[in-house]
Amino acid sequence: MSDVFISYARETEARALQVAEALRTLGYGVWRDDEIPAHRAFGDVIEEQLRAARAVVVLWSAQAARSEWVRSEAERGRIERKLIQITLDRTELPMPFEQIQCADLSDWTGDAEAPAWLKVVASLAALTGRAGPPTGGATQRRLRRDRPSICVLPFVNMSGDPEQDYFSDGISEDIITDLSKVSALSVASRNTAFSYKGRRINVAEVARALSVSHVLEGSVRRAGGRVRITGQLIEGSSDSHVWAERYDRDLNDIFALQDEISEAIVTALKLKLLPQEKTAIARRGTTSVEAYDLYLMARQYLETGNQGDPRRDEAIARLCRRATEIDAGYARAWALMGHAQSTLALVHGRAHEDGLTAAERALALDPDLAEAHSVRARVLQAQARHDEAFAEIELALGLDPQSMEVNIRAANMYLGARRFAQAIGRYSKVAELAEGNFSATGMQIGAYEALGDADGVRRAAQMTLERVEKVIARDPGNGAAMGFGVTALMALGETERAKTWIARALLIDPENLPMRYNFACALARGRDADAAMELLAPVFATCSAWLPNLARSDPSLDPIRDDPRLAAMLADAEARLADGGDAATRAAS
């Protein structure tokens, strides 16, 4: 039986899934009524789960307050003294529940450090008899102080060449990964740590903000065949140095140096590495410094490039191909190459390979590589092998639930299957993992609209616009950001501003088909069918198969779904593709 029973109104299913996924991330067993077996009576299962649960979490909303089921379940929790109340929209609670404390998650976006969420987690810890939530994360570090915790700040690039950032970032990420393998140590996530990149920081304030006991900071200077790495470990509460060292080595010693730094930190913290942990830290995936360097460069393109620009994925594929030529056993390089190839083939129609061969090569080398399973899921879905695709993505999520690529792929697959609540849950995870990611929150807008959740639409749109504006401030030509920015503006009712953005973006990047498609979806939501059709015409005239496939199920186009012009465009696009594909595909072949 589960630790937590969640009670909610059907209209807020997406929010219920968001709360459930957040609790599962902390290790709690969670039950919602979507898990009732087909052969069991509804009331019997509800009764069993209510009786067995250690906590009953009620998600109050205007609809929940009118639901006899929700009120009955809340009353059961109140009588048995295991009720935790959350309000999703600040609606007035019915009697006698208004007399009981209620956490306000009406504006909650999944932030694990939000005070209202911490209140919920603390109440759960008390009701379940635990000192804190059972697995990692920032919340655990706040509630459990029985082991050291650390944030590895991005190492500063001291090479005098901004283009060397990828190397210092890669070193930082690898140290985070290494330390995460130490069971006696809690480690702040990569995305949390990298939110401090380029900022003037006070170490004591960082430690306090993240509730970590220690902070590691350092620098990397690479020149020719030499590398200098400095590091200092600081105790947060006293702002005192626990360990500091400078290493000057040959670049070919970089892997041994990373091992040495990780082990020095573990020793300084008076921890002991288990044999299997020491082995895991030493496993780099390649022994070639040159292949490793190319892989780091490709990762940088993936994380910072314009996701609507095929040149980004072409660069990633070239870099990874060269890395695998140097070391044919480098599984991560094969997986990343597969990711880029699948994007080029399925989104841009520009490649012979669809990524499946590269992904399967990666899996032959490392069967537990989640990103390779994710690529395989993407290609299987494009081949209409849906059951296999979903089995593959669920396997990937089980192997690495913190992977950005895996969560994005899962969210997109759920959205395509019109499983909107699950899609929102995965997009929330992406938004949590990457503070600046605008596409995840932008995709949530359509899913919330499909569920009829106006508050969810507003929250997702506001967050998307905030993230997009930061990106456009430093990269005015980012078509992907403009596309999602327009989606957010239309959802917020700022129609004229949205149309100004569309006109500007089309002047800057007129060939960006995904951007045009996103603009059309935003206009369709705004019931401007003529403008949407004008944007869609050149898209469907030249696009590869993924866009017509997406358009068939995309909830954003539902307002114009019955327009005969859309049906004609889709039919023409599918006929063109069946007759030999788009011009880009024919040229490539």
Tokens standing for 149?
A: 């915790």
Contacts of the segment 528-536: beta carbons below 8 A, 24+ positions apart: 529/559, 529/560, 529/563, 529/565, 532/560, 533/560, 533/563, 533/565, 533/566, 533/569, 535/502, 536/566, 536/569
Q: Would you state the pLDDT for residue 294?
A: 93
Do residues 95 and 229 both lie within one domain? no
Q: Which of 7, 1, 8, 16 is nearest to 53 (CA)?
A: 1
Altogether, the residues listed in the chain come to a count of 589
**CATH number assigned to the domain comprising residue 505:** 1.25.40
Residues 61 and 89 sit within 8 Å (Cβ to Cβ): yes
Residues 331 and 295 sit within 8 Å (Cβ to Cβ): no
Entry pTM: 0.65
Do residues 440 and 589 both lie within one domain? yes
pLDDT digits (tens, 9 = 90+) for 92-132: 888 888 778 888 898 887 777 777 888 888 888 878 765 44
Do residues 477 and 582 both lie within one domain? yes
Which of the given ranges, 145-159, 187-201, 224-238, 341-355, has the highest pLDDT on average? Answer: 224-238
- Last residue of a domain, which of 223, 253, 284? 284
Provide mean pLDDT across the span 425-440. Answer: 81
Domain annotation covers residue 350: no
User: 321: pLDDT confidence band, cut at 50, 70 and 90?
Assistant: very high
Widest Cα–Cα separation across the chain: 73
Domain annotation covers residue 164: yes
Q: Would you state the pLDDT for residue 548?
A: 84
Domain annotation covers residue 528: yes
- Last residue of a domain, which of 255, 284, 313? 284
The Cα 464–Cα 444 span in angstroms is 9
Residues 154 and 196 sit within 8 Å (Cβ to Cβ): yes
Do residues 129 and 162 both lie within one domain? no
Do residues 108 and 186 both lie within one domain? no
Do residues 113 and 211 both lie within one domain? no
Number of domains in the chain: 3
pLDDT digits (tens, 9 = 90+) for 126-181: 787 654 444 444 444 443 345 688 999 999 999 878 878 889 998 998 898 888 88
Domain annotation covers residue 297: no
Do residues 588 and 476 both lie within one domain? yes
Domain annotation covers residue 375: no
The Cα 342–Cα 545 span in angstroms is 12
Range of the domain at 563: 436-589
- Last residue of a domain, which of 234, 269, 284? 284
